[in-house]
Amino acid sequence: MNRSAHCSVFPLIIAGLAALFATAVAGAQQLTLTPFHASGIYALGEKVGWTAALPPGTAAPAGGYTYTIKKNNLDVIKSGQLDLTSGRATIEIALDEPAMLHVEVSPAAGGPGRSVAGAAVAPAKLQPSIPRPADFDAFWEAKIKLLHAIPADPVLTPGESGKEGAEYATIKLNNLGGAHVYGQLAKPAREGKFPALLILLWASPPYPLQKQWVTDRAAEGWLALNVEPHDVPGDLPPAFYAALPQMIKNYQNLENTDRDRNYFLQMYLGDYRAVDYLASRPDWDGRTLLLMGTSMGGQQSLCVAGLHPQVTHVIVHVPAGCDTNGALHGRAAGYPNWDAGNPRVMETALYFDPVNFASRIKATCLVSMGFIDDTSPPVGVWIAFNQIHGPKEAVPLVNAPHNHLATEEQQRAYTTRAAEWLAALVHGTELKPAGN
């Protein structure tokens, strides 16, 4: 699902001055949709809108264009036709409540030419759809206590780093219920104490880890650990992963009515154990422990940062899993697509929702959200961001879909800012989130 650079490197930074136009899916006579505000962000009651324009020298197709506007990626709140006989038209709406807006314009007769755009109305005021469970803290404290009763017994197997200035090893740790945490570790090839980085991964059936994900960071000066989200080794041939049972390839649906056996429980606890391991190493500098991830990697990062007190910083790109019960309250929820029609699933989901961990986060956080992201709908990401009490910075990606569908330019505001954060943290220089 998320195969762009998860190691790329989020109140508000108005990112996207290089993204004045909403993304349009390639097709004949596709429109450009220019937002009234380049930032894509509007106040309550303010007119939100876009100017739709045909490419120079083209004419509108027979039947013209129709548009729909959805609130929070779910409910259609306005629709109509566009008169583009002059080559230009406007789409307008105003809201008196915080929300994300998603507009889609398509030829009325069908066929190619679909264009989409997004906007935010008072996003800093978005709040959770439902309170977190009353026993949320007690549940996770009990699970962490069980984890700590199991010795980690780290097993390191040194290997060739293939990178000058970096040392490399694979690692195996014990997890709850007889499971294991598998990963790869790299560090600078010199004596010293280093800032620590835990890289958490996007959603997909199990896949091998790429050595450069940690060796490149080690060469920069990081003590870098990257762990599998699954209980499988990360260094086996592709045939091994292809032969895994179909059940594990659909892991997001496993035990989704049972919080004590849900797949994400093992995943989050494995991540927690990885943080414990980094913090226990004598070559950690004791000051900086960064979590970083994209999509499901961002989901894991926010949740574990809410659990582990030694996490100091978080950098996440379009984090998944936020506002899991949103579909019951007029908001699209996105991956991992919990079944909103099953009350037991909805109850279980709350224990693994980044929104319910976010208020526990003390780390300094950088968070991006794509305004036309269907996989990690921006409404949920904003809600999680708003719950974070520590220093934080948002990077709104005004014309970006989910990371694996977005261009480099659509994500540039995030990658640029995240690179600045990484450089500051690895060199121990002062880092102050924009807007704080």
pLDDT at 19: 34
Is there a single domain that holds both residue 120 and residue 143? no
Is there a single domain that holds both residue 53 and residue 163? no
pLDDT at 86: 86
Residue with tokens 């994500």: 411
Is there a single domain that holds both residue 120 and residue 144? no
Average pLDDT, the chain: 92
pTM of the model: 0.92
Structural tokens at position 1: 């699902």
Mean pLDDT of the 394-418 span? 97
CA 18 – CA 60 distance, rounded (Å): 27
Is there a single domain that holds both residue 160 and residue 233? yes
Cβ atoms of residues 67 and 82 within 8 Å: yes
What is the number of other CB atoms lying within 10 angstroms of the CB of residue 91? Answer: 20
Q: Which residue, of 98, 124, 150, is where some domain finishes? A: 124
- Is 130 inside any structural domain? no
- Is 17 inside any structural domain? no
Q: Which residue, of 97, 124, 151, is where some domain finishes? A: 124
Is there a single domain that holds both residue 84 and residue 158? no
Is there a single domain that holds both residue 173 and residue 318? yes
- Is 243 inside any structural domain? yes
User: What residue numbers bound the domain in which 346 lies?
Assistant: 136-426
pLDDT at 29: 62
pLDDT at 184: 98
Encoded amino acid at 424, one letter:
A
Say how many domains are in the chain.
2
Confidence of residue 124 (pLDDT cuts 50, 70, 90): very high
CA 405 – CA 409 distance, rounded (Å): 12
pLDDT tens track for 298-347: 999 999 999 999 999 999 999 999 999 999 999 999 999 999 999 999 99
Residue 6 has pLDDT above 50, yes or no: no
pLDDT tens track for 227-252: 999 999 999 999 999 999 998 999 99
pLDDT at 106: 92
Is there a single domain that holds both residue 200 and residue 244? yes
What is the number of other CB atoms lying within 10 angstroms of the CB of residue 110? Answer: 10
Is there a single domain that holds both residue 308 and residue 385? yes
As a whole number of Å, the end-to-end CA separation of the chain is: 33
Is there a single domain that holds both residue 100 and residue 214? no
Instruction: Please tell me what DSSP assigns to residue 67.
Output: E
User: Across the strands, what pairs with 226?
Assistant: 184, 199
pLDDT at 87: 86
Percentage of the chain beyond pLDDT 70 is: 93
Is there a single domain that holds both residue 397 and residue 357? yes
Is there a single domain that holds both residue 266 and residue 345? yes
pLDDT at 191: 97
Residue 14 has pLDDT above 60, yes or no: no
pLDDT tens track for 290-307: 999 999 999 999 999 999
Confidence of residue 83 (pLDDT cuts 50, 70, 90): confident
- Tell me the backbone φ, ψ of residue 65, rounded to 5 degrees: -125, 150
Residue 60 has pLDDT above 50, yes or no: yes
- Is 209 inside any structural domain? yes
Cβ atoms of residues 65 and 107 within 8 Å: yes
pLDDT at 409: 97
Percentage of the chain beyond pLDDT 90 is: 86
pLDDT tens track for 128-153: 999 999 999 999 999 999 999 999 99
Residue 182's contacts (CB-CB under 8 Å, 6 or more residues apart) are: 170, 171, 172, 227, 228, 231, 232, 233, 234
Confidence of residue 436 (pLDDT cuts 50, 70, 90): low
- Is 313 inside any structural domain? yes
For the domain that residue 246 is a member of, what is the CATH number? 3.40.50.1820
- Is 315 inside any structural domain? yes
Residue with tokens 């999509």: 295
Encoded amino acid at 381, one letter:
V
Is there a single domain that holds both residue 298 and residue 193? yes
Q: Which residue, of 124, 157, 181, is where some domain finishes? A: 124
Residue 171 has pLDDT above 80, yes or no: yes
For the domain that residue 110 is a member of, what is the CATH number? 2.60.40.1930
- Is 5 inside any structural domain? no
pLDDT at 403: 96
pLDDT at 36: 97
- Is 433 inside any structural domain? no
Cis geometry, peptide bond prior to residue 35 (ω within 30 degrees of 0): no
Cβ atoms of residues 167 and 218 within 8 Å: yes
Mean pLDDT of the 46-74 span? 91
